[in-house]
Amino acid sequence: MKAGIAVLEFFRNIGIDRIFGIPAGSVNVLFDGMNDYEDILPIITKHEGAAGYMAAGFAKYSGGPAVAIGSSGPGAMNLVTPAANAMREQLPVLFLTGSVPTSTVGMNASQELEAASVFAPVTKYSKLVGRGDELVKEIAKALEIAMSGVPGPVHIAMPLDVQMTDIDPSIIPVAVCPARIKADTAAAGQAARELKSRNAGLIFCGQGARGMVSEVMRLSELLGWPVVSTPVAKGLFKDAHPNFAGVYGFAGNESTGRLIQDGDFDTLLVIGSSLGETATSNYSTALAKDRFVIQFDRDETVFGRKYPADLPVLGDLTDTLPVVLRELKMLGTREKPVSVPYNPERLSPGAAYTTKNVVLKLQQLLPENTRYAVDITETEAYVIHDLSVLSPDAFDINVHFGAMGSGLSVGMAAKMADPERPTVIITGDGCFHMHGMEILTAKEYGVPVLFIVMNNARLGLVYHGHSLQFKRAHKTFSTQPMNFTKMAEALEIPAARVESMEDLNGETISKLMSTDGPALLEIVLTDDNPPPMGDRVKFLAGFAE
């Protein structure tokens, strides 16, 4: 059996049923082999970058590892950005790249690249495999590393001759055994006792709290402390819960900012947040000032990175939070009411044709359990600031390392991983120009997701950022107007074009959401109001002073 085919056999053994990528000469062994592995589907994208982001999205919403593949040289380079994002989001993605035959290394072979070194800074493990009998073992080792401890991406470079080498099939692993982080249960118990002794506090949650929302809210109810989320955790906590106090950081709620700035809390309990720039409103000192900081995380490198961690608790939240809840119960803790200055009422759209009113009306018209994949666009700020959380895990928002256009791929992958849930992608014309042809991938694979393109014929976030910082914006930030509806129709994809609030109606949305493949809703709107970016507005405007 060829070593490349042994890789497919291994994938079958561990339940990997799809590979995202683009075929090329240096990876042809695997793509040809998939003719004989009908239970492993190649998802052929239009760009390797999209394939990498799809693999990351699939890992996030399927709960397991995912695989992206690219050619040697340019294909590998196109996967580096998604790998860096997977590292930031702690997602177990295996990046496979082809490589020139070992006999031609250093001879200026076509598309030669020392990819292992390129991927090393943005992965947990990166290696060029030099022998056929080592290939499947190294891939199994890489996946084990990807899934162990703090999850993250890994990379294996596969020379073409290594893939072609005949090997003994008996060496193919049948499983991977990732290692869990050893939870510091003693620190968790100490945290519970500390929490019990404190007068008042605030629970600050990042996306690491995904899957542990009920435990977080139970903790909030026992302590009588409000819960605040970061922008990337938008969607984890329902606004209607009386203990939820809104979003802090980029595009966060004004009342939440006042709560953190002026609230009489002596303790800050951080759960699953690395306390990065967008989460902390540009590293605001008000967050932890004069407060005892208890931080729960599975990544020990986040402790004390920017803010002090008076009591760090290392471990997966599934191990540490139950310890805290049990200890509080043993200490006789009873539920306490909490009063937070946050209005959980769902906003209603006004009559004016503005971005805010459009996103509010869209949520009114779409199913309540819709999942929104939000691209890197000015509309993202309105989603964070104004939309309500109506169902669990409602939003995928990546403000800390998402590339323009990445939301398109993540939304498609989320639908593949969770096919029963209505899924909508909110993107902009600038993002769509980068990765918009992935809508054709959605058509080819029958992925019924609605692409909503906010078309203002300019790079909106850049325009507003320059307007705030420099009081002007270069004319080239505006782009050639394009009719995305006609483009979709040329691809035989259902589409509709909205140019007023009246055009945005239930009949149009229902028709687009009922297709058995992708559909596109183009919203032509130029809104000169600065997006509600919170303190980011002051941050940018301050540079002009």
Which DSSP string do the residues of 364-411 spell out, in sequence order?
HHS-TT-EEEE-SSTHHHHHHHH----STT-EEE--SSPPTTHHHHHH
Q: Residue 166, SS3?
A: strand
Residue among 378, 357, 399, 396 at smallest CA distance from 503: 357
Sign (positive/negative) of CA torsion 44, 45, 47, 48? negative
Rounded Cα distance, 291 and 406, in Å: 37
- Measured CA distances, 7 to 102, 125, 167, 409, 419 (Å): 19, 18, 11, 25, 27
Residue among 381, 388, 392 at smallest CA distance from 360: 388
Query: 185-197 and 317-330 are packed helices; what angle lies between their axes, rounded to 10 degrees?
Result: 50
Position 424 confidence tier, pLDDT thresholds 50, 70, 90: very high
**Does the pTM exceed 0.85?**
yes
Q: Quick check: 5 and 27 in contact, CB under 8 A?
A: no
pLDDT digits (tens, 9 = 90+) for 132-152: 999 999 999 999 999 999 999
Of the ranges 286-295, 391-400, 461-470, which one carries the lowest mean pLDDT score?
A: 461-470
Residue with tokens 């997006």: 531
Residue among 242, 219, 195 at smallest CA distance from 339: 242
Domains, the chain: 3-171 (3.40.50.970), 185-330 (3.40.50.1220), 355-542 (3.40.50.970)
Q: Quick check: 152 and 144 in contact, CB under 8 A?
A: no
Residue 322 carries which side chain, given as an amino acid letter?
A: P
Q: What is the pLDDT of residue 35?
A: 97
Q: What is the pLDDT of residue 268?
A: 98
363 contact partners, CB below 8 Å, separation of at least 6: 370, 387, 388, 390
Q: What is the pLDDT of residue 536?
A: 54
pLDDT digits (tens, 9 = 90+) for 237-283: 998 888 999 999 999 999 999 999 999 999 999 999 999 999 999 99
Rounded Cα distance, 335 and 390, in Å: 25
Give the mean pLDDT of 281-304. Answer: 96
Position 426 confidence tier, pLDDT thresholds 50, 70, 90: very high
527 has pLDDT over 70: yes
Rounded Cα distance, 432 and 162, in Å: 38
Q: Residue 63, SS3?
A: coil
Residue 440: how many CB atoms within 10 A of its CB?
15
Rounded Cα distance, 350 and 534, in Å: 21
Residue 369 carries which side chain, given as an amino acid letter?
A: N
Q: Quick check: 317 and 216 in contact, CB under 8 A?
A: no
Give the mean pLDDT of 154-175. Answer: 97
543 has pLDDT over 50: no
Rounded Cα distance, 403 and 388, in Å: 25
Helices (H) and strands (E) in the chain, counts: 21, 18
pLDDT digits (tens, 9 = 90+) for 475-512: 878 788 899 999 999 999 999 999 999 999 999 999 99
545 has pLDDT over 50: no
pLDDT digits (tens, 9 = 90+) for 42-69: 999 999 999 999 999 999 999 999 999 9
Residue 132 carries which side chain, given as an amino acid letter?
A: G
> What stretch of H or E contains 507?
helix 506-513
**Burial code of 315-328, b = ≥16 C-beta within 10 A, e = fewer?**
bbbebbbbbbbebb
For 73-114, strand residue ranges (E) read 93-99
